[in-house]
Amino acid sequence: MKQLRHAVDLVGAEAVDAPPVARGRGIRTPQFLAAIARRDEALRAIAQHFPGLSQREAARKVRDVVSMYANGSWRRERTAVTCPTRHLGRVTAHCFEALKARDAVPSLGTTRAALSRYSLATDAGTL
């Protein structure tokens, strides 16, 4: 708490106005949640390149594409701040964004969960 007050004092706000910060094991920070959301959005964009597949098949294809990119070009491009121009407009641009958000190939279950959250959101929007 002392560090939080010091940080708040540095920006010129009152320590009383600072929101409580939950810290500890199992607590996901807002930055972590934002990174997961960016990764999931990129995974859903990759899935758009495979229309007509079931959710399970699409998740498998998405994971395979991300895995191939991670084992190839990503090793050279991981330090780039923005997506290299040679990937723009291609599925690998979305792979770059997914890995830039979270530097790990998502599991099949994680990929399926990201795609199902999208399908539930679009189904709710059409009702």
**Is 21 within the bounds of a domain?**
no
**Is 19 within the bounds of a domain?**
no
List pLDDT tens digits, range 22-71: 677 888 899 999 999 999 999 999 999 999 999 999 999 999 999 999 99
**Is 2 within the bounds of a domain?**
no
Number of domains the chain is built from:
1
**Is 10 within the bounds of a domain?**
no
Burial (CB count within 10 angstroms: exposed 0-12, middle 13-18, buried 19+), residue 126:
exposed
**Is 77 within the bounds of a domain?**
yes
Which pTM does this prediction carry? 0.74
Distance from C-alpha of 60 to C-alpha of 108, rounded to nearest angstrom: 6
**Is 9 within the bounds of a domain?**
no
